A and B are shown apart, each in its own frame.
Chain A
Amino acid sequence: AAGVIQSPRHLIKEKRETATLKCYPIPRHDTVYWYQQGPGQDPQFLISFYEKMQSDKGSIPDRFSAQQFSDYHSELNMSSLELGDSALYFCASSQGRGTYEQYFGPGTRLTVT
């Protein structure tokens, strides 16, 4: 079965640079969630989108922005990167706003040097 696709899988950036992470949800899934997972920590919710509209916002820094496009893929844009932004970034998708089950992608490992 098709899964959530994330690209790139690994990304190395320097401080103050910009990064863009992409997420392609499971076909027919219209809701996308972004989570950040620090080393040895649990995933923390950042932001979600339903039908291309922002649905909810969690602990996402103002330096980060995201959007969902007409084909339902989503991009997380991160500017003025800091060392503390180094983490795994996961995208999850679900089918319908009323659906609970979230399926996670393989993640993007961002390293800021």
Chain B
Amino acid sequence: GENVEQHPSTLSVQEGDSAVIKCTYSDSASNYFPWYKQELGKGPQLIIDIRSNVGEKKDQRIAVTLNKTAKHFSLHITETQPEDSAVYFCAASTSGSARQLTFGSGTQLTVLP
């Protein structure tokens, strides 16, 4: 089955700086890679996603890049704000009949004011 590795496990940045979180996946059949933000006591919130036919996708301060050859994808957050502080999960899904998500282990991002 799919295995997703995520690092770093914790990341602290100063407000206004950029944050980068990286993930690698094992199953070459995976073709959908979402990122979720989870605040304490809440459900994961889909913040951006990318499909395997695209190399980069941007949405305001958030961008995701995908390198299919190397099987890794990254989340980039620019101009970080204190409200960006949360746990971020990457995930991967295959194109089979099941769309189940395999998650990385999460990154606790802390943006220091």
Known A42-B105, A45-B100: A101·B34 in contact at CB below 8 Å: yes
Chain A interface category by residue count: 20 to 34
Q: Which of B41-69 contact A (CB under 8 A)?
A: 42-46, 49, 51
Q: In the complex the two chains form, is B43's CB within 8 Å of A90's CB? A: yes
Q: A42-B105, A100-B32 are in contact. Are A56 and B98 (CB under 8 A)?
A: yes
Within 8 A of B (CB), among A19-71: 31, 33, 35, 41-45, 48, 55-56, 58
Query: In the bound complex, how far is the Cα of B103 from the Cα of A104, in angstroms?
Result: 14
Are A31 and B99 within 8 A (Cβ)? yes
Q: Does A15 contact B (CB under 8 A)?
A: no
Report how far A12 CA is from B100 CA in the complex, Å: 28
Q: Across the interface, do A104 and B43 meet the contact criterion of CB distance under 8 Å?
A: yes
Separation in Å of the B75 CB from the closest CB of chain A?
Answer: 15
Complex Cα distance, B38 from A106, in Å, reads 10
Pair A100/B103 contact, Cβ less than 8 Å: no
Q: How many A-B residue pairs have CB under 8 A?
A: 60
How far, in Å, is A6 (CB) from chain B's closest CB? Answer: 8
A101-B34, A105-B43 known; A43-B97 Cβ under 8 A: no
Assess whether A97 is interfacial by the CB under 8 Å rule. yes
B109 to chain A, nearest CB (A): 15
Is A33 in contact with B49, judged by CB distance below 8 angstroms? no
Name the contact of A106 in the complex, choosing from B42, B98, B104 (C-beta under 8 A). B42
A86 part of interface (Cβ distance < 8 Å): no
Q: Specify which chain A residues have a CB less than 8 angstroms from the CB of B19 in the assembled complex.
A: none
CA distance A97 to B97 in the complex (A): 8
User: Which residues of A come within 8 Å of B, CB atoms?
Assistant: 4, 31, 33, 35, 41-45, 48, 55-56, 58, 90, 94, 97, 99-107
* 28 CB < 8 A contacts A-B: A4-B43, A33-B100, A41-B105, A42-B89, A42-B103, A42-B106, A43-B44, A43-B89, A43-B103, A44-B103, A45-B100, A48-B98, A55-B97, A97-B97, A99-B99, A100-B51, A100-B99, A101-B34, A101-B46, A102-B99, A102-B101, A103-B46, A104-B36, A104-B43, A104-B44, A104-B45, A104-B46, A105-B43
